[in-house]
């Protein structure tokens, strides 16, 4: 029975909701997988939410075609994909005889899939110009969690009759990092195409899409796993002193600590072409020596070679520095216009994660499935560092030096146990955190399910903070796509700064 729900200006009709299991004939009765300290670092963090938008020609996008051709193919290929990604069909549980939670699959488990229909125009979501941040929320499914268990992933296929469809994904960060979640979607798309081409079920994956579940590859001689469990209990006590769920043995996502911030906020996409990136890169390098090293010195930096001007700055450093500075300057300008800010009142910090697969000793397989990322932070030595005239060079140097210190396992893991508390302390002191989600290396525009590559890919969960959603440009020209959710006035100021800086 179909049901309807209103979300802002969008009406969503639910056609179906249920579990999609892996094929029974090839599934074991039970399967479990432990969590490593990399996983437990994200135990109660908010889900990562993404939407893939697909346009279809009119003959193939009628409601009948969508419901009777597109949806059955996606459901069938999803089931086949879960044969390879069995943990996704299970749940996070915490056995009474275990000091930490684990992933457990039992025969009959499956991934929650919602089939919905939207009354909104698909093109509304494809534009780069600002739209209400709330609108996208109707296209991503809720990820269930409680004290006793938590879903690993939840999916929603939303149909836009005579236009196309979207695939919304909510994934539990304690089970998947960005590389693992995009590998799953690529595998699903691969099997969807194969089934359409051969007109029969195909279960074989290309080697680069086969997940590796070797959790023993992640060594933990320092007991970081228990440290992170205790960390989440302490954070929970700090944020909600009255909560004492299951004596700390809870798997409930702390949604109240990371809610979607959608009131009076808009979502927009910005493009940095290859030429734009080169222009910013050259501007930074040409002024590299004009910034005093004392302005960018970080006591955590261990590589003295990083003090030398680099032969080239990575696209990651260039993008993050430029966008962060534009956000900071727009935020400060809005505060001044409201009369709420004196000079240098706004303080900023930039946080990011680094893939540790190749940095571990010995290195972890590149197809390792799970979390293998560590978080790091670049903060301002002075309140005005992100907003002064030469802020771009200062911030670029700081990010570059931090990244340069992460080449080894020792550097990549340095300080990860205290990162959350350090961040919380800074936020209490009024520091505004700017984060980054996604990567230009994930290849999200390669996700072709048989109807062409996505028209647009959005990291919806950037609305849970000031976060830069990063992806490669759709046209494959070497540019970068940046997604943001900001206060409407701040977004307008940001847009002006962003485009003026590229002239």
CA pseudo-torsion sign 383, 464, 454, 193: positive
pLDDT value for 433: 92
Mean pLDDT, rounded, for 240-252: 72
Q: What is the CATH number of domain 3-248?
A: 3.30.559.10
pLDDT value for 303: 46
CATH 3.30.559.10 fits 265-500, yes or no: yes
Contacts for 3 with CB less than 8 Å, ≥ 6 apart: 13, 14
Separation between Cα atoms, residue 406 and residue 465, nearest integer Å: 25
pLDDT value for 257: 81
Provide the annotated active-site residues. Answer: 173, 448
> Is residue 307 over pLDDT 70?
no
For residue 497, give the 3-state DSSP assignment: helix
DSSP string, 222-253: T-HHHHHHHHHHHHHHHH-TT--GGGG-----
Phi and psi at 342, nearest 5°, equal: -90, 170
pLDDT per position as a tens digit, 357-376: 999 999 999 999 999 999 99
Contacts for 198 with CB less than 8 Å, ≥ 6 apart: none
Q: What is the mean pLDDT of the chain?
A: 91
CA pseudo-torsion sign 59, 60, 62, 64: positive
pLDDT per position as a tens digit, 2-50: 555 555 556 899 999 999 999 987 678 899 999 999 999 999 999 999 9
| % residues pLDDT > 90 (the chain) | 77
- Measure the CA dihedral 228/232/238/242, to 10°: -140
With beta carbons less than 8 A apart as the criterion, state whether 171 and 181 touch. yes
Contacts 24+ apart (CB under 8 A), 418-427: 419/351, 419/375, 419/376, 419/377, 420/231, 420/235, 421/231, 421/234, 421/235, 422/377, 423/349, 423/351, 423/377, 424/235, 424/238, 426/347, 426/349, 426/379
Mean pLDDT, rounded, for 65-74: 96
Of 209-213, 350-354, 418-422, the least confident = 418-422
pLDDT value for 238: 79
Half-sphere exposure in the Cβ direction for 331 (13 Å, CA): 22
Mean pLDDT, rounded, for 279-289: 95
Confidence of residue 301 (pLDDT cuts 50, 70, 90): very low
Separation between Cα atoms, residue 157 and residue 140, nearest integer Å: 9
Q: Where in the chain is the domain with CATH 3.30.559.10?
A: 3-248, 265-500
pLDDT per position as a tens digit, 422-446: 888 888 888 999 999 999 999 999 9
């Amino acid at each position: 029975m179909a049901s309807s729900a209103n979300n802002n200006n969008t009406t969503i009709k639910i056609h179906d909701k249920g579990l999609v299991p892996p094929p029974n004939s090839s599934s074991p009765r039970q399967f479990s997988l432990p969590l490593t300290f990399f996983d437990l670092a994200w135990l109660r963090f908010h889900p990562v939410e993404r939407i893939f938008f697909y346009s279809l020609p009119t003959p193939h996008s009628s409601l009948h075609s969508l419901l009777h051709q597109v949806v059955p193919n996606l459901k069938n290929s999803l089931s086949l994909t879960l044969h390879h990604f069995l943990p996704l069909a299970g749940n996070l549980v915490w056995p009474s005889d275990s000091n930490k939670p684990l992933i457990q699959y039992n025969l009959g488990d499956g991934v929650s899939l919602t089939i919905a229909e939207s009354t909104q125009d698909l093109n509304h979501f494809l534009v780069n110009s600002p739209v209400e941040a709330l609108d996208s929320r109707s296209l991503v499914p809720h990820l269930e969690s409680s004290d006793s268990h938590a879903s690993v992933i939840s999916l929603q296929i939303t149909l836009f009759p005579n236009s196309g469809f979207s695939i919304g994904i909510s994934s539990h960060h304690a089970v998947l990092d960005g590389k693992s979640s995009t590998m799953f979607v690529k595998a699903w798309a691969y099997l969807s195409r194969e089934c359409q081409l051969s007109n029969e079920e195909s279960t074989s994956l290309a080697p680069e899409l086969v997940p590796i579940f070797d959790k023993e590859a992640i060594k933990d001689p320092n007991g970081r796993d228990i440290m992170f469990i205790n960390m989440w209990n302490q954070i929970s006590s700090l944020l909600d002193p009255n909560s004492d769920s299951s004596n700390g043995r809870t798997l409930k996502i702390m949604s109240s600590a990371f809610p979607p911030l959608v009131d009076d906020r808009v979502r927009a996409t910005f493009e940095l072409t290859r030429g734009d990136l080169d222009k910013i890169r050259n501007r930074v390098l040409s002024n590299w020596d004009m910034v005093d090293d004392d302005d960018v010195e970080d006591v955590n930096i261990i590589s003295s070679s990083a003090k030398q001007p680099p032969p080239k700055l990575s696209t990651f450093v260039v993008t993050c520095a430029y966008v962060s500075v534009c956000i900071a300057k727009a935020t400060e300008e809005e505060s001044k216009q409201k009369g709420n800010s004196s000079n240098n009142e706004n303080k900023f910090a930039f946080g990011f994660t680094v893939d540790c697969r190749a940095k571990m000793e010995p290195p972890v397989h590149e197809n390792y499935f799970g979390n293998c990322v560590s978080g790091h932070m670049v903060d301002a030595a002075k309140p005005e560092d992100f907003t002064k005239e030469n802020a771009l060079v200062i911030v670029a140097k700081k990010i570059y030096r931090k990244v340069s210190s992460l080449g080894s396992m020792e550097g990549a893991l340095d300080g990860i146990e205290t990162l959350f508390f350090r961040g919380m302390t800074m936020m209490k002191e009024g520091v505004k955190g700017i984060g980054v989600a996604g990567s230009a290396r994930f290849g999200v525009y390669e996700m072709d399910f048989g109807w062409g590559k996505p028209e647009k890919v959005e990291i919806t969960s950037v609305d849970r903070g000031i976060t830069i959603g990063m992806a490669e440009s759709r046209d494959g020209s070497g540019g970068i796509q940046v997604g943001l959710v900001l206060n409407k006035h701040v977004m307008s100021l940001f847009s002006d700064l962003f485009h003026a800086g590229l002239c």
